[in-house]
Chains A and B, each alone.
Chain A
Amino acid sequence: MGDTDHAKTGIVITGLVKNFGEFRAVDDLSFRAEGGRVFGLLGPNGAGKSTAIGCISGLTKPTSGMITVNDHDIVREPRAAKRRLGVVPQELAIYPDLPARDNLRYWGAAFGLRGEELGQRVDDVLETIGLVDRAGDLPRTFSGGMQRRLNFGCGIVHEPTVILLDEPTVGVDPQSRERLYELVTEQRDQGACILYTTHYMEEAERLCDEIAIMDHGRMIAHGSLAELRQTAGEHDHLTLTGHFPVEEVRPVIDAISEPHRLLEVLLAEPNQLVIAAHEASTRLPAIFRALEGAGARVSETTLRRPNLETLFIKLTGKELRA
């Protein structure tokens, strides 16, 4: 796994800014990801996660700020930094018409592996990703999950100390997703620093030791899962769909919330209403009565315990997957 002291530092990002013309894709992003931990970078599509990954992997030159990988500046020492990086891109960046074993050999050689070491690592990775018996087959004949595993294997064949995983489970069936989770935790347990971007909150809650939430290029929340849950508060989130006269709804909910502010309208739109409520299940009858009085018509109700999704709604006033 390389030099342990360096590996512990993982990724350090300080004041990262990336502009595309007038558009600021990443705005003053700073965080530190340690070895042996999974750092989650969450946010909706267009939040700036992939641009940040591009900057960290050296594919996109930052407008300003600094990125180090195991203490090596990605701009000033790109070779040293890249040698320690394993990138697992969102797309299947493998050769579908090249046998799985040859894919691994090619990507291993691209990161400097040679001879016996290369052969041994290829065998190890085939074992790790569970493709030993399909090593000689073409990936185009694989299932989507197997292709994802090979894509992952190509990113770790050179034993990187820092692994960038850019939405690795997009379009993957539940069974293959479980296998990918196992692969990620295996790498973390071996000491790798893993930066994991996703817009699946449940994935982040399950895998990540530390999480940063991005929106519009900025980091809007950062901390461990426990810390973020605390930020989200103890309130349940009640999501109602139907027809809501927005101007009338807020006052009636505020009225039944007093005096202890037990209810709070997080999002009020003509077809959706999101309310943060302490012990929401006990207050449902009162809420429905108030809404009925305001002329609202409810067609569906969802009650969620506090989680990252509810935190995101609380922080941004919108759904994460919107």
Chain B
Amino acid sequence: MTFLLLGVAKDISRWLRDPVSFVIYLLVPLLVGGLLTAVTGQGPTPTGTLLVADEDRSMVSRLLVAALFDADLGDTLRVEKSDEAGGRELMNTGDASALLILPDGFGEAFLRQEPTALVLVTNPSEAIMPRIIREGVEIVVDAGFYFQALLGDETRAIYDAVTGDTSDDVDDSAAAEGFSADITAKVTRAAPRLLPPALTVELVEEVDSEEPVPLALLMFPGIIMMAMVLTAQGLSADLWSEAEAGTVRRIAAAPQGFVTSVAGKAIAAGVLTAGVSLVIAALGFVYYGLEPWLLLPVAGWLLICAPALYLAFSLIQLAAPDRRAGAIVSSIIMFPLLMAGGSFFPLEQLPEWIAAIGRFTPNGFMLEQLSGIVTTGRAGAIAGQIWVAMALAGLGLFVLASFATHRRFAHA
């Protein structure tokens, strides 16, 4: 273990003495991502459509709909009326971010302080807008609850008067004066002591929506993968430095150090490659306003992928006859990989046949899993067996790379 740790520390320490390379690994993806975002005109500001299906058509439901229309959300959110069937159809075709259904009987239940629920259907392919909409709707519903708690009796009485449910001997003007005085007194007294709302918004996620994720967000995982591929390719060239210095042969003359030294190198490369990618990821999370805690599964995925990617590039280097050829061959392979693997253009935007190839490239496969976390906002977007498969692939590449390094460089 001492030798493994010293090996990891050795390579991290050596590689970090060349900060310029790491600046390049960071800047190139940021530059490419920035340029592509600018060219495609897809900034990070999300816009969305909230469909409201008023199945109740009561005074209360109309007031709630009017409140939603009055909410000043600028260009961020557009509110449109719809019926439930039409709204669901628009959701399925990806033309709306969320559908709010006010069920029949909602107003009556609201006024009588009986349990009721609004149904909010959100589009899972959008990461940001549904959350904004849900919070917006909850604010409006909270306001409704406070209104209900504060002035429920008066509202119900007014409602009954308007709908003719009161006895004929009531003096209308006296009643109106009474409502007015009561409302004024209650508003000034009771506001600070309101209880949490009893009214809830039930969130239902639509599973079959085909709503496309914003292009800028689709490009984000590709930018992360670009940083990862660039770093892994760059670090893999260090094998030549070791071979030329004779340190590989020297370690092969040690009793048990060879495989451990390859492992140390892979871990060190993995840590630095994942580190660079994680910096890009963190910047993107801030830029796109994603949930910070999602960085944890992203970091985990990067950490498990990075050593495998480094080892894959090491095998390419080992297949080349010399350092120069290694650099050329690995670069020639790297750029088509980045292209097809979704780093320059999102897989979703590529022609289907290229995207199909891209998904089979190592970086394309890694990217697709990463997209699952970033664009849906689900930490568990990557299935357990995918994690295991990637770990096993890394292990297989490690065995191959150890064997190839020994065969190539360790002999006198």
Interface residues, chain A, with chain B CB atoms under 8 Å away: 50-51, 53-55, 57-60, 78-80, 82-83, 85, 87, 89, 91-98, 102, 105-107, 109-112, 114-115, 118, 138, 154
Given contacts A93-B245, A95-B245, A96-B245, contact A59 B17 (CB under 8 A): no
Q: Confirm or deny: B57 has a beta carbon within 8 angstroms of a beta carbon on chain A.
A: no
Q: Which residues of B contact A60 (CB under 8 A)?
A: 411-412
**Residues of chain B whose beta carbon lies under 8 Å from any beta carbon of chain A:** 2-3, 6-7, 9-10, 13-14, 17, 245-247, 249-257, 261, 410-412
| B410 nearest in chain A by CB position | A59
Once A60-B411, A106-B7 are accepted as A-B contacts, the answer to whether A91 and B246 lie under 8 Å apart by CB is yes
B residues in contact with A53, CB < 8 Å: 412
Contacts of A97 in B (CB 8 A): 14, 17
Q: Do the beta carbons of A82 and B245 come within 8 Å of each other? A: no
The answer on a CB contact under 8 Å between A102 and B255 is no
Q: Say how far A224's CB is from chain B's closest CB, in angstroms.
A: 28
Expressed in whole angstroms, the minimum distance between the Cβ of B325 and any Cβ of chain A is 21
Q: How far is the CB of B21 from chain A (nearest CB, A)?
A: 13
B10 contacts A57, C-beta separation under 8 Å: no
Least CB separation from B245: chain A residue: A93
Query: How near does chain A come to B394, taking the closest CB pair, in angstroms?
Result: 24
Q: Give CA–CA (A107, B256) in the complex, Å.
A: 12
Of the candidates A50, A78, A80, A95, which one forms a contact with B10 in the assembled complex, judged by CB atoms under 8 Å apart?
Answer: A95
Q: Are A110 and B257 in contact (CB under 8 A)?
A: yes
| Residue of B3, B245, B246, B410 with most partner-chain A CB within 10 A | B3
Chain B residues with Cβ below 8 Å from A83 are: 255
For this complex, 7 residue pairs linking A to B, each with C-beta atoms less than 8 Å apart, are: A57-B412, A58-B252, A59-B410, A91-B246, A102-B6, A110-B251, A112-B255
Tell me whether A95 and B249 are in contact (CB under 8 A).
no
Give chain A residues whose Cβ lies under 8 Å from the Cβ of B249: 59, 89, 93
A87 / chain B contacts, CB cutoff of 8 Å:
250, 253
Q: How far is the CA of A98 from the CA of B238 in the complex (A)?
A: 14
Contact (Cβ within 8 A) B14 A94: no
Q: Which residues of B contact A110 (CB under 8 A)?
A: 3, 251, 254, 257, 261
Q: Which residues of B contact A115 (CB under 8 A)?
A: 2
Chain B residues closer than 8 Å to A58, beta-carbon distance: 252-253
B254 to chain A, nearest CB (A): 4
In the complex the two chains form, is B2's CB within 8 Å of A109's CB?
A: yes
Q: How far is the CB of B253 from chain A (nearest CB, A)?
A: 5
Whether the Cβ atoms of A109 and B6 lie closer than 8 Å is: yes
User: Would you give the shortest CB distance from B7 to chain A, in whole angstroms?
Assistant: 7
Residues of A close to B17: CB separation below 8 A: 97, 138
Closest to B247 in A: A93
Considering only CB atoms, which chain B residue lies closest to A78 in the complex?
B255
B246 touches A85 (CB 8 A): no
In the complex, chain A residues whose CB is within 8 Å of the CB of B9: 102
- A225–B10 CA distance with the chains assembled, in angstroms: 44
* Chain A residues closer than 8 Å to B257, beta-carbon distance: 109-111
